[in-house]
Amino acid sequence: MRITWLWLFVALLALAGCGKTVPPQEVAQRYYQLLEIARQSGFEVVQEDLVSLLSKDSREAFQACAKRLNDRLHLEESDVNRYEASDCFVFSNFTGKRHSLEIEVQAEGPEHVLLELTSGGSTRVLDLMKEEGAWRIDLSSTIERNQQGGTP
**Whether residue 76 has pLDDT greater than 60:** no
Give 94's pLDDT tier (boundaries 50, 70, 90): low
Residue 2 lies in a domain: no
Residue at 87: amino acid letter: D
**For the purposes of burial, counting CB atoms within 10 Å of the CB of 4, is it exposed (0-12), middle (13-18) or buried (19 or more)?**
exposed
**Whether residue 30 has pLDDT greater than 70:** yes
Q: How many domains does the chain have?
A: 1
Residue 6 lies in a domain: no
Residue 135 lies in a domain: yes
Residue at 8: amino acid letter: L
Say what the pLDDT of residue 39 is. Answer: 75
Let me know: does 136 contact 28? Beta carbons within 8 Å.
Answer: no
Residue 10 lies in a domain: no
Residue 5 lies in a domain: no
Name which of 10-14, 79-83, 130-134, 146-150 the model is least confident about.
10-14
Give 14's pLDDT tier (boundaries 50, 70, 90): very low
What is the average pLDDT value for the chain, to the nearest integer?
75
Say what the pLDDT of residue 137 is. Answer: 93
Return the CATH number at 109. Answer: 3.10.450
Q: What is the mean pLDDT of residues 62-89?
A: 64
Residue 12 lies in a domain: no
Residue 33 lies in a domain: yes
Residue 28 lies in a domain: yes
Q: Which domain holds residue 140?
A: 22-147
**CA dihedral defined by 94, 76, 61, 22, rounded to 10 degrees?**
-30
Q: Is the dihedral of CA 85, 149, 141, 94 positive or negative?
A: positive
* Beta carbons within 8 Å of 105's beta carbon, 6+ residues apart: 24, 25, 113, 114, 115, 116
**Whether residue 10 has pLDDT greater than 60:** no
> What is the model's pTM?
0.71
- Distance (Å, whole) CA 36 – CA 45: 11
**Whether residue 61 has pLDDT greater than 60:** yes
- Distance (Å, whole) CA 78 – CA 6: 65
| Geometric angle at alpha carbon 68, from 123 and 42, rounded to 5° | 60
Name which of 28-32, 41-45, 68-72, 115-119 the model is least confident about.
68-72
